[in-house]
């Protein structure tokens, strides 16, 4: 029986099994995760850099976050063709990366780099019953994945409530995660801080622009049409987080983009909080 098989057997026992398992390299990680049954309890995977002889991680954020599945030496990690980056079970682009494995090859609730040190986001990912941040606000989240439907919604918007639109990618069919790595990286933080800081009457629209990167590049993609560019926003790429404002007299929509990096979480919170004024004048 291999070491990984022994650890899988131990982890199946809720009371006596290993609750923290350290694995070295792709083969051991793949064997453990692919064979793990999520019916035995949730599985969280933390990917880290390798450590030197003194036990220090070469990745500074990993040194802060600690304890891992180790992805190897710097040269191995920098190779875009290494297994952790390319294998569909993991498909990660950053270290450290924390994600929840949902079974069937699917994963979710991913935190990377600086986000792995954010206590509020960790509470969310680990589904802490009584998080430090308390209860979220009673605001609304909806999904509109059709450009014409979104245009119709914005045409009917009366500016009586704060409205945010998050343009992002669709998801991979093989792991359920967003195909745009930058969207995948920011998604948990954006949704969490919206829930906890935007007013109760706020509405947040998730607008997936394409099921795949190939579909996003199609010239007939509705989110890149001239009508959408002229009347909603000219999208250069995703992710794009905007705060909608409307000129009531003309019906014109203005999409105010969140310009800083998404890991600037205080600025992100301020963006959601300062949403009372939903109109503008030419």
pTM to 2 decimals?
Answer: 0.85
User: Which stretches of the chain are DSSP H helices?
Assistant: 3-11, 26-35, 60-65, 74-78, 83-86, 119-125, 147-156, 181-197, 213-216, 226-231, 265-273
> Residue 268's pLDDT is what?
97
Strand pairing partners for 132?
none
- Could you count the other beta carbons within 10 Å of the beta carbon of residue 27? 11
| Domains of the chain by start residue, with CATH | 3-125 (3.40.30.10), 140-273 (3.40.30.10)
> What is the distance between the alpha carbons of residues 166 and 219, in angstroms, rounded to a whole number?
21
3-state secondary structure (DSSP) of residue 47 = strand
Q: Is the CA virtual torsion 259, 262, 265, 269 positive or negative?
A: positive
Task: Give pLDDT tens digits for 27-57.
Answer: 888 888 888 888 888 899 888 877 776 767 7
Task: Per residue of the chain (282 residues), give pLDDT as tens.
Answer: 455 555 544 444 443 445 778 888 888 888 888 888 888 888 998 888 777 767 677 777 776 665 545 666 778 778 888 888 888 788 888 989 999 999 999 999 999 999 999 999 999 999 999 999 999 999 999 999 999 999 999 999 999 999 999 999 999 999 999 999 999 999 999 999 999 999 999 999 999 999 999 999 999 999 999 999 999 999 999 999 999 999 988 889 999 999 999 999 999 999 999 865 577 776
Alpha-carbon distances, residue 66 vs 7, 45, 169, 184, 213 (angstroms): 20, 12, 30, 22, 34
Rg (Cα) of the chain, in Å, rounded? 21
Q: Is the peptide bond before 239 cis (omega within 30 degrees of 0)?
A: yes
Q: How far apart are CA 273 and CA 199, in angstroms?
A: 7
């Amino acid at each position: 029986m291999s070491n990984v098989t022994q650890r899988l057997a131990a982890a199946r026992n809720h009371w006596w099994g290993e609750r923290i398992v350290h694995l070295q390299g792709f083969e051991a990680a793949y064997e453990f995760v692919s064979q793990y049954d999520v019916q035995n309890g949730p599985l969280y995977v933390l990917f880290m850099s390798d450590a030197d002889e003194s036990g220090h991680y070469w990745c500074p954020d990993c040194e802060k976050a600690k304890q891992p599945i180790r992805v190897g030496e710097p040269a191995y990690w920098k190779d875009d063709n290494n297994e952790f980056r390319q294998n569909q079970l993991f498909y990660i682009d950053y270290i450290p990366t924390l994600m929840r494995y949902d079974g069937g090859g699917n994963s979710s609730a991913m935190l990377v780099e600086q986000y792995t040190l954010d206590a509020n986001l960790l509470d969310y990912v680990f589904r802490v019953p009584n998080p430090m941040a308390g209860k979220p606000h009673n605001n609304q989240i909806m999904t509109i994945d059709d450009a014409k439907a979104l245009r119709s919604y914005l045409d009917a918007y009366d500016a009586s409530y704060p409205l945010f639109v998050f343009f992002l990618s669709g998801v991979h069919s093989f792991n359920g995660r967003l195909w745009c790595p930058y969207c995948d990286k920011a998604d948990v933080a954006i949704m969490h801080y919206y829930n906890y800081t935007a007013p109760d009457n706020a509405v947040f629209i998730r607008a997936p622009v394409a099921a795949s990167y190939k579909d996003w590049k199609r010239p007939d993609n509705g989110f890149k049409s001239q009508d959408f560019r002229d009347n909603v926003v000219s999208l250069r790429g995703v992710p794009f987080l905007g705060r909608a404002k409307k000129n009531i007299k003309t019906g014109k929509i203005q999409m105010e983009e969140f310009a800083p990096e998404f890991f600037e979480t205080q600025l992100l919170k301020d963006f959601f909080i300062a949403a009372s004024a939903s109109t503008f004048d030419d």
